[in-house]
C-alpha cells in the first residue's frame, strides 16, 4: 500500500471518530415524567394518625349519675325502727312504717321492695308467711344521705279476724332483707301475727326516701 493511501485511511478514521464523538456529546437526555398522582401543584401529605379516645365519666346530681354511681346500702349501713301509720290501714288491716336510717358516713342507695316477714327473735327466725308486695309503679332507686331515713309501708292483718286457723303468736318484730341481699336487718316491734302459713299475710310497699310523717 502506498504512503498516500495509508494517510488517507488514517485521516478518514479520525474524521469518523470525531463525528461520532460530536453526536454523542450533543445528544439530549430523555426526561422522566412524574407519576400522574404527583401532578404539579399537588402537595404530598403523610397519612393521618387517629388519636386513641379516652372515656371519662362525670357524675350528676347529689348521688353522682342520678343514683347510678352510688353504692347500694347493706344491712351494716342501716338501723331500723317502726312507726304507726295513723292515717293508713285498710279493712281488717293496720298500717305501719318500717324505717331505716343510714348510719354510715357515705350516701347509699335502695331500690325496690324489701323481703319482710315477722320475726320470732333477734336472729330473725320467721313466723308465718313472707309479706306480699303491694301494687306499685316500677320503683326507682333512692339515695339516703348519712343519718337520713327511708321507709316502707306495711299492712298488718287483724289476727282476730283470721279465725282459729290463724294460730295467733306474739312476735318480736320484723326481719327485713334488702333487695338482692340475703342478709337480714331485724327491726324491733312487738306485734301479734298469724303463725299459720297463708293466714294473716302482711303486705309491703317499695322503699321511699325521707321520714314518714
Which CATH number covers residue 80? 2.60.40
Evaluate whether residue 4 is within a structural domain: no
Residue 67, pLDDT score: 53
Evaluate whether residue 24 is within a structural domain: no
Evaluate whether residue 57 is within a structural domain: no
Average pLDDT of the segment spanning 93-100: 95
Mean pLDDT of the chain: 77
Average pLDDT of the segment spanning 40-46: 45
Residue 163, pLDDT score: 86
Evaluate whether residue 42 is within a structural domain: no
Evaluate whether residue 111 is within a structural domain: yes
Q: Encode burial over 45-75: b for 16+ CB neighbours within 10 A, e otherwise.
A: eeeeeeeeeeeeeeeeeebeeebeebeebeb
Residue 107 domain boundaries? 75-209
Average pLDDT of the segment spanning 125-136: 95
Evaluate whether residue 181 is within a structural domain: yes
Evaluate whether residue 2 is within a structural domain: no
The pTM (predicted TM-score) of the whole model is 0.67
Residue 154, pLDDT score: 96
Evaluate whether residue 144 is within a structural domain: yes
At residue 193, does pLDDT exceed 50? yes
Domains contained in the chain, number: 1
Nearest one of 117, 110, 177 to 139, comparing CA atoms: 110
Amino acid at each position: 500500500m502506498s504512503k498516500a493511501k495509508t494517510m488517507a485511511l488514517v485521516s478518514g478514521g479520525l474524521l469518523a471518530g470525531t463525528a461520532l464523538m460530536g453526536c454523542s456529546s450533543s445528544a439530549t437526555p430523555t426526561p422522566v415524567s412524574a407519576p400522574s398522582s404527583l401532578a404539579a401543584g399537588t402537595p404530598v401529605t403523610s397519612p393521618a394518625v387517629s388519636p386513641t379516645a379516652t372515656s371519662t365519666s362525670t357524675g350528676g346530681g347529689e348521688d353522682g349519675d342520678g343514683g347510678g354511681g352510688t353504692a347500694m346500702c347493706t344491712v351494716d349501713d342501716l338501723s331500723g325502727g317502726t312507726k304507726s301509720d295513723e292515717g293508713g290501714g285498710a279493712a281488717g288491716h293496720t298500717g305501719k312504717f318500717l324505717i331505716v336510717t343510714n348510719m354510715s358516713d357515705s350516701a347509699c342507695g335502695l331500690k325496690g321492695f324489701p323481703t319482710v316477714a315477722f320475726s320470732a327473735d333477734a336472729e330473725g327466725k320467721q313466723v308465718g308467711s313472707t309479706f306480699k308486695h303491694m301494687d306499685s309503679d316500677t320503683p326507682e332507686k333512692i339515695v339516703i344521705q348519712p343519718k337520713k331515713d327511708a321507709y316502707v309501708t306495711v299492712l298488718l292483718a287483724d289476727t282476730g279476724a283470721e279465725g282459729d286457723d290463724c294460730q295467733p303468736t306474739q312476735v318480736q318484730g320484723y326481719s327485713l332483707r334488702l333487695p338482692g341481699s340475703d342478709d337480714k336487718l331485724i327491726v324491733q316491734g312487738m306485734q301479734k301475727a298469724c303463725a299459720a302459713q297463708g293466714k294473716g299475710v302482711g303486705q309491703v310497699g317499695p322503699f321511699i326516701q325521707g321520714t314518714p310523717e
